[in-house]
């Protein structure tokens, strides 16, 4: 489930809620042209062999590779994608 909260199509900046079902596994590695901040609201996920659980904030600077993801239980995240000047 994905719910876009705000979006600026000109800059590709957005905030969203993203829910992962239990057992979700991705295979792709992501790289964004913007900064990404992800707050884990509930559940948890594993990315790059690091465990992120409820209450953790992960920050990926522009150009940083991250992924794939594994979601053993489930996860609800709040993501902010923005450009830094």
**pLDDT the model gives residue 84:** 83
Q: Is the pLDDT assigned to residue 85 strictly greater than 90?
A: no
Residues contacting residue 49 through CB under 8 Å, at least 6 positions apart: none
pLDDT in tens, 24-54: 999 999 998 899 999 999 999 999 889 999 9
What are residue 75's phi and psi, to 5 degrees? Answer: -155, 140
Which stretches does DSSP call E strand in the chain? Answer: 2-8, 13-20, 24-25, 35-47, 50-53, 57-60, 69-71, 75-82
| CA pair distance 12, 55, nearest whole angstrom | 26
Coil vs helix vs strand at 21: coil
Mean pLDDT (the chain) is: 95
Domain with residues 2-82, CATH architecture = Sandwich (2.60)
**pLDDT the model gives residue 48:** 87
């Amino acid at each position: 489930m994905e719910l876009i909260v705000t979006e600026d199509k000109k800059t590709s900046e957005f905030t969203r809620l993203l829910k992962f079902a239990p057992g979700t596994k991705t295979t792709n590695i992501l790289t964004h042209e913007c900064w990404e901040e992800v707050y884990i609201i509930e559940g948890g996920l594993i990315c790059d062999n690091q465990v992120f659980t409820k209450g953790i904030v992960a920050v990926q600077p522009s150009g940083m590779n991250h992924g794939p993801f594994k979601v053993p239980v489930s996860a609800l995240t709040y993501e902010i994608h923005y450009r830094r000047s």
